[in-house]
Amino acid sequence: MAAARPAYAQARSREVRVGVAQDALTLDPANHRNRDTQNIIRNIHDGLLTRDVEMRVQPEIAESWRQIDARTFEFRLRPDIRFQSGDLLSAADIKFTFDRLAKDGAMGGQTSPRKGLLGPLQDTVVVDERTVRMHLAAPWPILPAMVPFQEVVNRRQFDRVGQEGMQTRPDGCGPFRLAEWRRGEAIILERFAAYYGGSTEIPGTGPAQIDRAIFRVIPENSTRVAGLLAGEVDIISELPASAMRQVEASQTAQVMKVNGTRSFFVAFNLARKPFDDIRVRRALNHALDKGAIISRILNNTATALRGVMSPDAFAFAADLPEYGYNLARARALLAEAGVAEGTELVIDTTAALKEIAEAIAALLSRTGLRVRAQIWEGAVLGPMWQAAERRRDRDMYLTSWGNGALDPSDIMVPTLRSGGRGNAAGFSNAEVDQLLDAAETEADQARRAEMYRRAQAIVTDQAPWLFLWLPQDIYGVSRRVTHWRPQADSRINLHRIRLAG
Amino acid sequence: MSAAEAGALSPLGLGLERFRANRTALLAAAVILLFVLAALSAPWIAPHDPADADLFRRLQPPAWLEGGEWGFPLGCDSLGRDILSRLLFGARVSLLVAAIVICIAAVIGTLAGLAAGYLRGWTDTLIGRLVDTLLGFPYLVFAIGLMAMMGPGLHNIILVLVYKEWVFSCRVVRGETLAAREQDYVEAARALGAGPGHIMLREILPNVLSPVLVVATFRMAYVIIMEASLSFLGLGVQPPTPSWGSMVADGRDFLVDAWWVSTLPGLAILMLVLAINLASQGLRDAFDPRLHSA
C-alpha cells in the first residue's frame, strides 16, 4: 500500500490545494452548466475575454474587440498562443469553439447546454488568421459581457479524441494542464510552462507562480473547514457562515468574502390563491424580518435586496421603496385581503436551503398564518416549478438566480418576462415585458439602463416575490496564500497565486 | 420453579416469567417504557412548541453551560428552537415509525412465512424468490432509492421500511413452520379433517409466535436507526416535525461551536436502540427452548 501514496501527499513546495464541495461534472467547456465545473475548467482553458477582480471585462486571448454594427462584433487575437499539446491557436479554433457552443447539434449530435448563454449568436466567421467576427441574429449589446463565460478549445484535439475524449482530456491554452483526474476525489493540475501569460490588462502576466494546483473534493462542510485549519488545503470555497469565527480565530487561516451575484427570493405562485392578491404578497414582504436572518443565521454576510438586482449590477435601481419589517401592517393587509388566521402555506426548497426555509417559515408564521417548509430533491423541484401546470398546487418556492454577467438581461428576462424559463412565480406584466424586450436590443446604454430601472420599480411594486438578499461568497484562505482574491463571479483563478514562506 | 408450576404455564407465560428474572433486560424494558411515556405525553410535558423559532436564541447552550438557562434545559438549535421539546416530539416520530413498521411487517411476514412453510410448492418458491431478491439489495440503498422515487414524508418512510422489513419475520416463520408441519399435533389436526387455513392459523401460528416476537423486537432497533438515517439524509419526515435523525443532520455544521445540537439527539438514538437491543436479547434468552431444555 505504501506505493499507493496519493500524489497530493508529496512535497508541498509551490503546490496549492483548493477544497471544493463538488467535483467537476466534465472537463469539456461546452458540456455543462455548472459553476464549480467551470471554476476548474477555467484554470486549464482561457477565454476570448475575461473579467478582472473588479468584474470589468478584459481581453484575454483576444487582444482587442470592437462592435462593427448592432449585430456584428469583431475580435482580434493575440499572436503566438499555444495549446498545452503544442498546437498553435488560430482564428479557426475560435470559430470551432463558438460554433460548437451556439449551433444546434454541434456537440457530437447534441446541442451545448451553454447555448443559451450566447443569446442570438448565429455565426462565427474567420476573417484572417488573427481575426474573427461574430454575427448575431438580433442586436444584443451584452455579448462582450457574456463571452468571458466561454473557454476556447483546440479543434485538433477534438479530431484526436472525439466528443467522448473531450470530457476527460482537455487541451486548453490556460495556465495549468491536467495531470490527473481522480473522479470524486481530486483534480490535479500542473503548471503549463509555455503559457502565453494571460490578459495584458491584469497585472502579473507570465506562467503560473506555482508548480501544481489540486482541487480536492470535500463535500462535507465541517470536513472542509477542518482540512483548512489542519493545513491540508489552502483555500476552501463555500465556507459556512457559522464557521467564520472558528477560521478567524485560527492562526493559520483567514476569511475572505466577496459580494456574490446570486439573488435569493421566494417566488409566490401568482396563479394560486391567496397570492393572486397583491395585498397578500406585500403583507408577506412586510412580515419577514430579513435583518434577523441576515444577522443571526448568515452572520451578516448578505445584502438585503429591495428588488431583483444586485447593487453591483449594471442599471441597479438604488431608489426602490422598501417593504420594511412591520408585522402589524402585514397582519392588517392579510385581514384586508380576507386571508384567515391559520391558513396553511408551504415553502418548497432543496436540502441546501433547509435552514433558511425553516427560518423564513417560522418568521412568517408570526402573522398568524401557518407556514412550513418542504424539502425536495433538486432534480424534482426545479422542473416542477418550471411548468405552470405542475406547480398549480404549490404555494411558494425559495430559490435563487445567478447573474454572473451582472446585467439585468441575464436575470430579469429569464425570471420575470412572461414565459421565461426561470419565471417560477408566473409573473406576467405587459409593461415589464415590453421594457425588457426593448432594452435587449437598445444600443444606447443610458437608455437601456433607464428601461431596466423602470422595470425593476414595477417588479418591486407588484411583489411577485418575497425579496430576500444577495449573499456574499465566503472563502477560507490559508495565511500562506498571497496574490489571490475571491471574485464576484466565484471563479477560483490560480494563475497569479503565490505562496509565502 | 417446580415442574408442576412450569407445566401450568403456556410457552408465552413461561418465557415472560424467565424475562422478569433477567435484570438487564428488565432495566432496558423500563428505559423503553420511559421513552414511550415521554413520547405519548410530549404535548403536555414539552416546555415549548418544538417548531417555535427564536433567532435570538440561536445555538444557546444547555442550562448547565455558560450562557444557558433553565427555561431551555438542553439548549437551542440553529433556529433557536428548544432541543428538549424537539427531542420529546422526535421520540414520537421514531417510536411511531418503528411500531407501525414492525407491526405491519410482522403480520405480513408471519402470514407469508406460514403459507410458504406449510403449503410448500409454488407458493414457497414464489415467496422464497421474493425474499431472496429483497435480501439481495443493501437495505439503506434500497430505502434511499425508493424514498427518492416516492418523495419524503412520514407515510412514505413507513411504506419503504415495510417493503423490506417483512422479509425477516417471514424467514423465521417459514423455518419454524417447516419444522412444525411434521409434528404430531399437526398430523392429528389433518387427520381430523382440518383445512390448511385452520391448521396454519389455529394450530401452527400460536407455536411460532415467540420467535416472531423476538425478531420483531430485534428489528425494531434497526428500523429506528433506518428512520434516523433516512431523516439524516433529508429523506425522512418533513420539517417542522422534528426527527432525531434530521436533528443530528441539522447540527453537524456546528459540531465544533455547538456540540449539543447533534450530540443530544444522537444520544437519544443510542439510548433507545441500546435499550431495545438489550431487551430483545432478554426476550431471546427467555424464549429460546434450547437454552432451557435441561
Span B31-60, pLDDT tens digits: 999 999 999 999 999 999 988 888 888 888
A270 versus A2: the higher-pLDDT residue is: A270
CATH of the domain at B176: 1.10.3720.10
Band of residue B291 on the pLDDT scale cut at 50, 70, 90 = low
Which residues of chain B does A240 touch, with a Cβ-Cβ cutoff of 8 Å? 253
Q: What are A270's three cell numbers?
A: 401568482
- Burial grade of A444 (CB within 10 A; 0-12, 13-18, 19 or more): exposed
Percent of chain A exceeding pLDDT 70 equals 97
C-beta separation of A286 from A324 below 8 A: yes
Average pLDDT on B147-167 reads 87
User: How do residues B62-94 score in pLDDT, each as one tens digit?
Assistant: 989 888 888 899 999 988 899 999 999 999 998
Our measurement of the distance from residue B113's CA atom to the centroid of its chain's CA atoms, rounded to an integer in Å, reads 20
Residue B73 lies in a domain: no
User: How do residues A51-86 score in pLDDT, each as one tens digit?
Assistant: 988 888 999 999 999 999 889 999 999 999 999 999
Of A222, A372, A374, the CB nearest to B255: A222
pLDDT averaged over every residue in chain A: 91
Residue B259 lies in a domain: yes
Query: How many of the other CB atoms lie within 10 Å of CB of B10?
Result: 9
Band of residue A8 on the pLDDT scale cut at 50, 70, 90 = very low
pLDDT for position A213 = 95
Q: Show Cβ contacts of residue A12 under 8 Å, excluding neighbours closer than 6 positions.
A: none
Residue B164 has pLDDT above 60, yes or no: yes
The enclosing H or E element of A1 equals none
Query: What are all long-range contacts of A420-428, with beta carbons under 8 Å and residues at least 24 apart?
Result: A421/A386, A422/A386, A424/A267, A424/A269, A424/A385, A424/A386, A424/A391, A424/A397, A424/A399, A425/A267, A425/A268, A425/A269, A425/A270, A425/A464, A425/A465, A426/A269, A426/A270, A426/A271, A426/A388, A426/A391, A427/A270, A427/A459, A427/A462, A427/A464
For the entire predicted model, the pTM comes to 0.77
Residue B294 has pLDDT above 50, yes or no: no
Residue B177 lies in a domain: yes
Which residues of chain A does B252 touch, with a Cβ-Cβ cutoff of 8 Å? 220-222
User: How do residues B251-285 score in pLDDT, each as one tens digit?
Assistant: 888 887 889 999 999 999 999 999 999 998 888 88
A358·B252 Cβ contact <8 A: no
Residue B51: closest C-alpha in chain A: A362
Of the spans A135-139, A276-280, A349-353, which averages the highest pLDDT? A276-280
Give how far A297 is from chain B: nearest CA, Å: 8
Of the spans A11-15, A127-131, B7-11, which averages the highest pLDDT? A127-131
Q: Which domain holds residue B218?
A: 25-42+86-291
- Chain B residues near any Cβ of chain A (below 8 Å): 51-53, 55-56, 58, 78-80, 148, 151-152, 234, 238-240, 250, 252-257
Q: Please state, in angstroms and rounded to a whole number, the distance separating the CA atoms of residues B257 and B60.
A: 11
Band of residue A2 on the pLDDT scale cut at 50, 70, 90 = very low
Average pLDDT on A94-99 reads 96
A-B contacts (CB, under 8 Å): 71
User: How do residues A359-418 score in pLDDT, each as one tens digit?
Assistant: 999 999 999 999 999 888 777 888 899 888 889 899 999 999 988 888 898 899 999 999
User: How do residues A191-233 score in pLDDT, each as one tens digit?
Assistant: 999 999 999 888 888 899 999 999 999 988 889 999 999 999 9
pLDDT for position B126 = 93
Rg from Cα positions in chain B: 23
C-beta separation of A427 from A464 below 8 A: yes
pLDDT averaged over every residue in chain B: 86
Residue B54 lies in a domain: no
Residue A6 has pLDDT above 50, yes or no: no
pLDDT for position B292 = 58
pLDDT for position A70 = 85
pLDDT for position B199 = 87
Percent of chain B exceeding pLDDT 90 equals 36
**Looking at this protein, which amino acid is placed at residue A491?**
R
Q: Please state, in angstroms and rounded to a whole number, the distance separating the CA atoms of residues A163 and A414.
A: 30
H-only helix segments in B56-120: 83-119
pLDDT for position B285 = 84
Residue B8 lies in a domain: no
Residue B98 lies in a domain: yes
Q: Which residues pair with A481 in a beta bridge?
A: A499
Band of residue A3 on the pLDDT scale cut at 50, 70, 90 = very low
pLDDT for position A4 = 46
Residue B12 lies in a domain: no
C-beta separation of A452 from A442 below 8 A: no
Q: Which residues pair with A254 in a beta bridge?
A: A477
In this structure, of A324-328, A434-438, A481-485, B207-211, the range with the lowest mean pLDDT score is B207-211
Q: Which domains does chain A have, with CATH numbers?
A: 8-237+479-499 (3.40.190.10), 262-472 (3.10.105.10)
User: How do residues B186-197 score in pLDDT, each as one tens digit?
Assistant: 889 888 888 888
pLDDT for position B6 = 46
pLDDT for position B290 = 63
Average pLDDT on A122-146 reads 92
C-beta separation of B170 from B112 below 8 A: yes
C-beta separation of B176 from B211 below 8 A: yes
Give how far A392 is from chain B: nearest CA, Å: 18
Residue B161 lies in a domain: yes
A358·B53 Cβ contact <8 A: yes
Residue A452 has pLDDT above 90, yes or no: yes
What's the structural domain count of chain B?
A: 1
User: How do residues A262-310 score in pLDDT, each as one tens digit?
Assistant: 999 999 999 998 999 999 999 999 999 999 999 988 989 999 999 999 9
Q: What are A90's three cell numbers?
A: 488560430
pLDDT for position B174 = 92
